[in-house]
Amino acid sequence: MAKTAIIEAHGGPEQFKIIDREVGAPGPGEIRIRHKAVGLNFIDCYQRSGLYPMTLPHALGMEASGVIEAVGEGVTHLKVGDRAAYAAQPPGAYTEERVMPAAQVCPLPDAISFEDGAAMMLKGLTVQYLFRRTTPIAAGDTVLFHAAAGGVGLIACQWAKSDGIRLIGTAGTEAKCQLALDHGADACINYRDEDWVARLRDLTDGKGVDVVMDAVGADTFEGSLDSLRPLGFMISFGNASGPVPPFAVATLGAKGSLKITRPTLFTHIADHETCQQMARDLFEKVTAGDVKIRIDQRFPLEDVAEAHRALEARKTTGSTILTV
């Protein structure tokens, strides 16, 4: 039996229930993993609230780390006793132990702790596809990154620095801006205290940036488009403030023949070999010291509702994990 956090109805954090659930044995293409730590992400909040509807009841959670306890038929890249970490579907990481598909579970290097492994997979693989798989970005290019002091943002600041990319961040307090600067951002704008679009234009001599990476959504979308240079590229990869409302495609032409995409991590990692290679790329950044995983909040699994409240209130910095 494994202690597990589930929801039986969509809604607020109060929907969480802690239950004991039977784990079972892995079938073909599956593994059983005993978790050491579990990562917390905004997609978990979207699924809990119903923004991303799911069949209920269901456990939540998309990333974790732990030790492989059993391996199903056909699984060759993992064995019993291996350290492992993942960002993967279906949801179900908020538990002590689970059976799950093996394809997106990755061997975790000994040099990376279980806590860092749980905190880095979904966020770090997101940064990997943003910088390596979405549009060409080269040393000397300039990127605008919203929520630069969050879990994804702090990894992005360091990744950009290590690749010679100029990253301009935004955050909601001076302390968060300083955190982004400390992790490699070239500049960070406090969007609560100033007109961030105007400030961004000042920082780029009126030209705008090459790429915007925006996981905030509705609140920043229009300003993000206005921050791009002609022919610039907008990556809208999240909805922390709510989904982006419909807009006229002709707007992209009027604002300088802009390009836009709405990617998801799970499209990028759907192929087993691609996922494993992306993870190796991320692990190399971490083991080389180019990226350090910052965990600023730890909650016991039983306090998952409190953890969700903190995340949605934007009271967190860096990564948040659940301890099991």
Q: CATH code at 199?
A: 3.40.50.720
- Residue 318: what pLDDT? 85
Confidence of residue 243 (pLDDT cuts 50, 70, 90): confident
- Cβ atoms 297, 315 nearer than 8 A: no
The stretch 292-319 carries a mean pLDDT of 93
Nearest to residue 255, comparing CAs of 278, 282, 233? 233
Whether 230 and 170 share a structural domain: yes
Whether 277 and 255 share a structural domain: no
Residue-range definition of the domain harbouring residue 39: 2-123+266-323
Of 150-154, 255-259, 315-319, the one with minimum mean pLDDT is 315-319
Whether 118 and 159 share a structural domain: no
The mean predicted confidence, pLDDT, of the chain is 96
What strand order describes the sheet that includes 16-21? 16-21, 2-7, 58-59
- Where a domain ends, among 210, 230, 262? 262
Q: Where are the beta strands (DSSP E) in the chain?
A: 2-7, 16-21, 30-39, 58-59, 63-71, 83-87, 97-101, 105-107, 142-145, 166-171, 187-190, 209-214, 228-236, 259-261, 295-300, 319-323
> In the chain, how many domains are there?
2
Residue 206 φ/ψ region, left for φ over 0, alpha for ψ in the -120 to 50 degree band, beta for the rest: left
**How many other β-carbons are positioned within 10 Å of the β-carbon of residue 300?**
11
Supply the pTM of this predicted model. 0.93
User: Does the pLDDT of residue 321 top 90, yes or no?
Assistant: yes
φ, ψ dihedrals at 117, nearest 5° = -60, -40
Structure-block tokens of residue 60: 């939540």
Give 105-151 pLDDT, tens digit per residue.
Answer: 999 999 999 999 999 999 999 999 999 999 999 999 999 999 999 98
Q: Is residue 130 part of a domain?
A: no
Whether 43 and 94 share a structural domain: yes
Q: Is residue 77 part of a domain?
A: yes
Whether 195 and 212 share a structural domain: yes
**If 0-12 CB within 10 Å is exposed, 13-18 middle and 19+ buried, where does residue 53 land?**
exposed
φ, ψ dihedrals at 51, nearest 5° = -60, -40
Whether 43 and 14 share a structural domain: yes
- Residue 270: what pLDDT? 97
Whether 162 and 247 share a structural domain: yes
Give 60-95 pLDDT, tens digit per residue.
Answer: 999 999 999 999 999 999 999 999 999 999 999 999
303 vs 64: CA distance, rounded Å: 17
Whether 177 and 200 share a structural domain: yes
**How many other β-carbons are positioned within 10 Å of the β-carbon of residue 145?**
28
CATH number at residue 36: 3.90.180.10
Helix, strand, coil % over all residues of the chain, rounded to 5 = 30, 30, 40
104 vs 275: CA distance, rounded Å: 6
Whether 227 and 194 share a structural domain: yes
Give 168-211 pLDDT, tens digit per residue.
Answer: 999 999 999 999 999 999 999 999 999 999 999 999 999 999 99
Confidence of residue 317 (pLDDT cuts 50, 70, 90): confident
Q: Which amino acid is at 247?
A: F
Q: Is residue 199 part of a domain?
A: yes
Whether 241 and 318 share a structural domain: no
200 vs 207: CA distance, rounded Å: 9
Q: Is residue 219 part of a domain?
A: yes
- Cβ atoms 122, 87 nearer than 8 A: yes
SS3 state of residue 272: helix
The stretch 221-243 carries a mean pLDDT of 94
Whether 258 and 304 share a structural domain: no
Q: How far is CA 14 from the centre of its chain?
A: 23
Q: Is residue 129 part of a domain?
A: no
Q: Is residue 239 part of a domain?
A: yes
Whether 195 and 299 share a structural domain: no
**How many other β-carbons are positioned within 10 Å of the β-carbon of residue 220?**
24
- Where a domain ends, among 262, 286, 306? 262
230 vs 248: CA distance, rounded Å: 18
Q: Is residue 156 part of a domain?
A: yes
- Where a domain ends, among 262, 293, 313? 262
Portion of the chain with pLDDT greater than 90, in percent: 94
